Structure 1
């Protein structure tokens, strides 16, 4: 199968020529009719990526978005999601990203995810979840070495320029949902 990669909410971001870029006006991830119009039959995509998008989606639409991603991914496909991390121990970070926070776009945030909430919601859609980067309840940061093949996440331990000299200035909760 030829790789078909979709970046949701990324038309202004250059994710590489192999990625189809979309915005809400072309693809509302919660509407199966939008997926059908753009991609036809289900099981057509190898990768879907959404960097700092899911926190802007209301609960019921998130459930539908997770299910649509699962349905349109081919077997073995990956959904990579990055969102602000609600377990980050830095109080300034939390103030910046919380629902109604002071950061850019936070006025539209609907939820501040933690790894366990994100994992549970993706598993309900059928995904097997791999945690790539996250803070736990005890203020410990966890990460695995992941590749950009599943999607390049700029706001990550590896790529965010605010992370320097061993200090984490900005990270995201990053997960892969795998369709087995």
Structure 2
């Protein structure tokens, strides 16, 4: 009963923002984060990213310009991830961007890995399905048709790589620039962050 109610309310909110307010930027699974007014916030009850029927119900034949998922993809099982990647590609307009941030499996800090690994000690890690590295994330998104831009990530040699990405694609709070744990040049917490572009 509660799920049906949340689905009904979430659907109304998304449709109103999309059809009436003409918002075209969508978050997945992050209705409690603070973003600009141009963003549509969603949760799983209204939009299961792996279900094409949910996308069709909410957006019909229309497309969104941006999709943002901060620390969501690591909670999605493999087959549902493949479907979610494909649905995001299908429902983005040409030139649109899917920005994903997840815990980084190449982070050289053992405490960080213990915190974020599948079944780790961190908040929410008991529901993690995969610990991504940049190459795995890139490969999976490319299979859906995306061109992938790596924004922040650790490589196999323990080097942190980043570019100065724009907020136009969405704010990632758990990032080099915006996480308060990163101060005085020390990286206390970072994410693997990518932009998947539909050319």
Q: TM-score, structure 1 length as denominator?
A: 0.97
Q: Does 1:86 align with 2:105?
A: yes
Using the TM superposition, name which of 70-79 and 33-42 deviates more. Answer: 33-42
Question: 2: distance between equivalents of 1:47 and 1:24?
Answer: 18
- Cα deviation for residue 109 of structure 1 reads 0.1
1:36 aligns with 2:36: no
1:102 maps to what in 2? Answer: 121
Q: 2: CA distance between counterparts of 1:9 and 1:30?
A: 12
Which segments of 5 or more consecutive residues in structure 1 lack a partner in the other structure?
Answer: none
Structure that is richer in helix per residue: 2
SS at match of 2:100: strand
- The reply to whether residue 22 of structure 1 matches residue 42 of structure 2 is yes
> Does structure 1 conserve the Cα–Cα contact (< 8 Å) formed by 2:119 and 2:127?
yes
Query: What residue number does 2:132 align with?
Result: 113
8 A contact 1:130–1:176 mirrored in 2: yes
The match for 1:133 is 152
Q: 1:4 aligns with which of 15, 24, 37?
A: 24
Aligned mates of 1:144, 1:13 — CA distance in 2:
23
Q: Look up the match of 1:72.
A: 91
Partner Cα distance (2:59, 2:23) in 1: 13
Aligned to 2:170: 151
Bigger RCO (CA 8 Å, 6+ sep): 1
Q: Name the SS of the counterpart of 2:112 in structure 1.
A: helix
CA drift at 1:3: 6.1
Structure 2's unaligned 5+ residue stretches are 1-21
**Preserved CA contact (<8 Å) 1:3 1:46:** no
Equivalent pairs counted in the alignment come to 178
Q: Does structure 1 residue 163 correspond to structure 2 residue 157? A: no
Structure 1 outlier segments of 4+, above 3 Å: none
**For 1:9-57, what per-residue CA distance to the aligned partner results, in whole angstroms no more than 9, with x for missing partners?**
1111121110000000010000000000111115x11000000000000
TM-score, structure 2 normalization: 0.88
Given the superposition, is the C-alpha separation of residues 5 and 147 from structure 1 closer, same or farther in structure 2, using an over 3 Å criterion? same
